[in-house]
């Protein structure tokens, strides 16, 4: 039996999760929300995490109804992410690990998403679309690593959505992406936008600058904000589905798993499932509890590492802003 606690704070979400042999015991989370038109900055985000981390930790422990002595391993996000928030949360993880006298493990954030997704959905060996505020990758497992088949060559899809939300001054509560999704449902007129895929890679910076330059004019021409949200979603999600399909065909895979914060967008899920149907594949996705950054994804991936014998020295329990998914050897998978 393994009980693991996980600390996540690589971006504007702060979460502490506890798992016991792949059963979620607690997963509280709190989000740093900025005013409309503003993004979150490292310093303020770190401040937010510092202010709330102990209360979130207490909440996790009391919900899980466990004693700290029952914990086998303390896990935290090593990267990738924003430096200051990552460091803030890592310090707390190191401190409690010392206090409770437990081993510590740094977890790759992207791997956390993938393993969480596999756990919740039961997908065995899926081609993974990982889409969030800072990441856009198409990943498949091979030879002891999660290999990156495709990715954004500039900004992440979530970043594109968030920054477009700022152009329209859409609220960041609960998240810009959620609010764009709601507006898009009422959109009717489709505006053709730049569409950019290169093999299994995608690019969003062109479409974002197009939107930044043209939004005022488009609104004057009679398009509504809803139409623009709709058109943006239709275009960028089509790019994601197309490149995922390329990877699926190339790997002969028959499962798709969507993870990451943008992954709870129901329109994206719907488009992906239509694509899957057209080629006899199966789609797996999760809802906002597990798609969006959370503590359990770190706890669960850490528990898998722990079970397979991974050990981290204290002096290695640092953070890193750049940490690619394919850098980690997946010691816990032997297929």
Partner 1 sequence: MKDFQLMKQGAEARLYSGTYLGKPTVVKERFVKKYRHKHLDDVLTKERIKAETRAVVRCKAVGINTPVLYLVDFDRRMIFMEQFVHSITLKDFIESNETDVLCNLALIIGKIIGKMHEGNVVHGDLTSSNILLVNLHNRDIFSNIEDLKIVLIDFGLAHTDCSAEDKGVDLYVLERALISTHAVADKIFPKIMEGYVKHYKNGSKEVVCKYEEVRARGRKRTMVG
Q: Which residues bind partner 1 (CB under 8 A)?
A: 10-13, 80-82, 110, 132-135, 140, 142-143, 147-151, 153, 156, 158, 190, 192, 195, 197-201, 234-235, 238, 241-242, 245-246, 248-251, 260-261, 270-272, 274-275, 278-279, 293, 321-324
Which residues, 6 or more positions from 139, have their beta carbon under 8 angstroms from its beta carbon? 110, 114, 127, 128, 129, 130, 146, 147, 148, 149, 325
326 is annotated as contributing to ligand binding: no
**Side-chain-side CA neighbours of residue 33 (13 Å):** 13
293 is annotated as contributing to ligand binding: yes
In three-state secondary structure terms, 197 is strand
Closest distance to partner 1 from the beta carbon of 238 (Å): 4
> In the complex with partner 1, which residue's Cβ is closer, 3 or 330?
330
Q: Which of 133, 127, 190 is nearest to 166 (CA)?
A: 133
For 334, the token pair is: 């032997």
> In the complex with partner 1, which residue's Cβ is closer, 16 or 82?
82
Strands 23-26 and 13-20: antiparallel
150 is annotated as contributing to ligand binding: no
> In the complex with partner 1, which residue's Cβ is closer, 19 or 275?
275
> In the complex with partner 1, which residue's Cβ is closer, 191 or 303?
191
Query: Which value, in Å, is the radius of gyration of the alpha carbons in the chain?
Result: 20
Q: In whole angstroms, give the CA distance from residue 219 to residue 235.
A: 18
Closest distance to partner 1 from the beta carbon of 2 (Å): 27
Closest distance to partner 1 from the beta carbon of 267 (Å): 10
Closest distance to partner 1 from the beta carbon of 14 (Å): 12
Q: In whole angstroms, give the CA distance from residue 258 to residue 272.
A: 9
> In the complex with partner 1, which residue's Cβ is closer, 103 or 158?
158
In three-state secondary structure terms, 125 is coil
Annotated binding-site residues for a divalent metal cation read: 109, 113, 130, 293
Return binding residues for substrate. Answer: 130-134, 162, 177, 181, 265
Residue ranges at the known binding site: 109, 113, 130-134, 162, 177, 181, 265, 293
């Amino acid at each position: 039996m393994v009980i693991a606690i996980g600390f996540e704070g690589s971006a504007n979400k702060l979460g502490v999760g506890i798992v016991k042999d792949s059963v979620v015991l607690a997963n509280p989370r709190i989000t740093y929300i900025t005013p409309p038109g503003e993004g979150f900055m490292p310093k303020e985000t770190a401040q937010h995490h510092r202010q709330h981390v102990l209360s979130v930790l207490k909440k996790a422990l009391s919900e899980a109804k466990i004693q700290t002595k029952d914990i086998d391993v303390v896990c935290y996000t090593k990267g990738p992410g924003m430096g200051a928030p990552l460091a803030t949360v890592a310090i707390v993880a190191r401190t409690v690990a010392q206090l409770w006298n437990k081993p510590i493990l740094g977890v790759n954030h992207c791997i956390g998403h993938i393993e969480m997704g596999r756990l919740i959905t039961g997908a065995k060996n899926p081609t993974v679309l990982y889409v969030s505020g800072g990441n856009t990758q198409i990943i498949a497992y091979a030879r002891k690593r999660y290999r990156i088949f495709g990715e954004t060559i500039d900004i992440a899809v979530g970043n594109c959505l968030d920054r477009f939300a700022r152009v329209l001054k859409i609220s960041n509560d609960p998240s810009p992406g959620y609010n764009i999704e709601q507006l898009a449902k009422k959109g009717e007129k489709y505006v053709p936008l730049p569409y950019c895929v290169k093999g299994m890679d995608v690019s969003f910076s062109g479409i974002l600058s197009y939107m930044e330059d043209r939004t005022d004019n488009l609104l004057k021409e009679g398009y509504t904000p809803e139409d623009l949200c709709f058109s943006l979603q239709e275009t960028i999600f089509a790019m994601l589905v197309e490149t995922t399909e390329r990877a699926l065909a190339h790997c002969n895979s028959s499962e798709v798993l969507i993870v990451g914060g943008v992954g709870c967008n129901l329109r994206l899920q719907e488009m992906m499932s239509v694509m899957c149907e057209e080629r006899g594949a199966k789609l797996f996705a999760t809802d906002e509890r597990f798609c969006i950054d959370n503590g359990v994804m770190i706890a669960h991936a850490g528990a898998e590492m722990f079970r397979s014998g991974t050990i981290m020295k204290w002096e290695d329990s640092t953070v890193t802003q750049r940490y690619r998914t394919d850098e980690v050897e997946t010691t816990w998978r032997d297929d």
